Amino acid sequence: MSTRDSLHLTDEQLDDYADGVMSAGALASAEAHLAVCERCRRAVSDTREVLAWATHERATVTAPAELWPLVTSSTIHLAEVRRAVLRSMRGLLLAGALTIAAATAVVTWKLARWTSPERAAPARVTPRAERPGAGGPGRHAGHPVVPTPPAAPRAPEAPRR
Ligand SMILES: [Zn+2]
C-alpha cells in the first residue's frame, strides 16, 4: 500500500485510542490501521506509558496547598474543579469584579466628559452665535467657524392625556 504513510493516526486519534474513548466506527478503522502499522502501534504504546506515568505521578506527588486549585483545574475533571475553585474563591472574585467595575465606571465617565460634544458645548465662548441669523461677528476670533449640519426635524410628540 503506497498511501499508507499518509493515513497514520493523528495525535488526537492516538490519544483517544489510548484513552479508550473512540467511537465504534473510529475504533474499527484505527484498529485496522494499527494492525498493519508498527509506527502507530509504537505511538499508542508511548502515549499509554505517558498516561500511566501521569496517573502514577498524580497519585504520588502532592502539590503545595496553595497551588492545588491551579494544578487540579489544569488537569482532570476540568469543568467540575473549575466550578469548585470558583465557588471557593467567589468572595475574592466578587471583590475583584467590583473593583474592576468601579474603575471602569470612573474611566468611562471621565472619557465621556472629555469627548462628549453635549458636555463640551457649555464651554464654548459664544453660544449666541449658534442662533440662526447670528453669524460670525459674535464668534471668538481664535475659534474657527465650523458649520453645523441642520438638526433633523423632530417628530411631533403625541399629546399627553
Ligand atoms: Zn500509522
> Quick check: 9 and 33 in contact, CB under 8 A?
yes
Distance 123 CA to ligand 1 centre (A): 75
Q: Mind listing the pLDDT tens digit for each residue in 13-70?
A: 999 999 899 999 999 999 999 999 999 999 999 999 988 888 887 777 776 777 777 7
Q: 23 C-alpha vs ligand 1 centroid, how far in Å?
A: 19
Task: Please name the residue that has the C-alpha cell 474592576.
Answer: 100
Tell me, in angstroms, the distance from the centre of ligand 1 to residue 76's CA.
28
159 C-alpha to ligand 1 centroid (Å): 80
Q: What is the pLDDT of residues 59-111, one digit of tens each?
A: 777 767 777 777 667 766 656 655 666 666 666 655 666 676 777 777 777 77
Sequence-distant (≥ 6) Cβ neighbours of residue 88 within 8 angstroms: 69
Q: Structure pTM?
A: 0.36
In whole angstroms, give the CA distance from residue 49 to residue 4: 25
C-alpha of residue 48 to centroid of ligand 1, in Å:
16
Dump the DSSP string for 100-142. HHHHHHHHHHHHHHHH-HHHHGGG-S-GGGGSTT--GGGS-TT
Rounded-to-integer distance, Cα 43 and Cα 47, Å: 6
Q: How far is the centre of ligand 1, averaged over its atoms, from the C-alpha of 43 (Å)?
A: 9
DSSP single-letter state for residue 102: H
Distance from Cα 4 to the centre of ligand 1, integer Å: 7
